[in-house]
């Protein structure tokens, strides 16, 4: 099967992918928008991770843009690639400050779920990377 002829569409896979993508995309969108308003817990958490307060809004803009790209079907592939980079940076930050293994694994699992959501809702990706 080639990339030009996508794998057959399954309604179950499609809706599972949409739900996963909606949940993780919505969470990331909420996190990004929260950074734009800089509530005290966001400021405290960012400073605790070693970043100056001045990077919170740019991080919020970046995360919000990536999440929106991920949630729009036409730009979802670009969004998932950008979110992978963003989440990789978040994981690296938590490793650098010596956070516990759960926090680090949670970030990695979140990245896997972001990809899984797109994989299940995008037959062209399933044709490109068959899991058989």
Summarize pLDDT for 48-92 with one digit per residue, the tens. 999 999 999 999 999 999 999 999 999 999 999 999 999 999 999
- Residue 2 in any domain: the answer is no
Tell me how far apart the alpha carbons of residues 28 and 84 are, in angstroms, rounded to a whole number.
Answer: 12
The structure's pTM equals 0.89
Torsion of CA 15, 19, 24, 28, to 10 degrees: 100
pLDDT of residue 97 exceeding 80, the answer is yes
Looking at the 3D structure of the chain, how many domains does it have? 1
Q: How many CA atoms lie within 13 A of 130 on its CB side?
A: 8
- Residue 4 in any domain: the answer is no
Q: Which domain holds residue 120?
A: 11-128
Q: Is there a contact between 83 and 114 (Cβ–Cβ < 8 Å)? A: yes
pLDDT of residue 2 exceeding 80, the answer is no
With a CB cutoff of 8 Å and minimum separation 6, the contacts of 124 are 3, 6, 7
**What tokens appear for 36 in the block?**
């734009």
């Amino acid at each position: 099967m080639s990339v030009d002829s996508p794998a057959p569409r399954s309604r179950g896979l499609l809706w599972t992918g949409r739900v996963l993508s909606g949940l993780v995309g919505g969470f990331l969108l909420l996190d990004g928008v929260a950074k734009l308003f800089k509530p005290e817990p966001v400021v405290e958490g960012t400073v605790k991770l070693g970043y100056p307060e001045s990077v919170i809004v740019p991080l919020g803009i970046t995360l919000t843009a990536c999440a929106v790209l991920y949630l729009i079907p036409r730009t979802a592939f670009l969004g998932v690639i950008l979110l992978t980079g963003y989440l990789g940076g978040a994981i690296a930050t938590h490793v650098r400050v010596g956070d516990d293994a759960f926090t680090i694994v949670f970030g990695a699992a979140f990245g896997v779920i972001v990809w899984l959501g797109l994989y299940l809702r995008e037959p062209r990706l399933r044709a490109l990377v068959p899991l058989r």
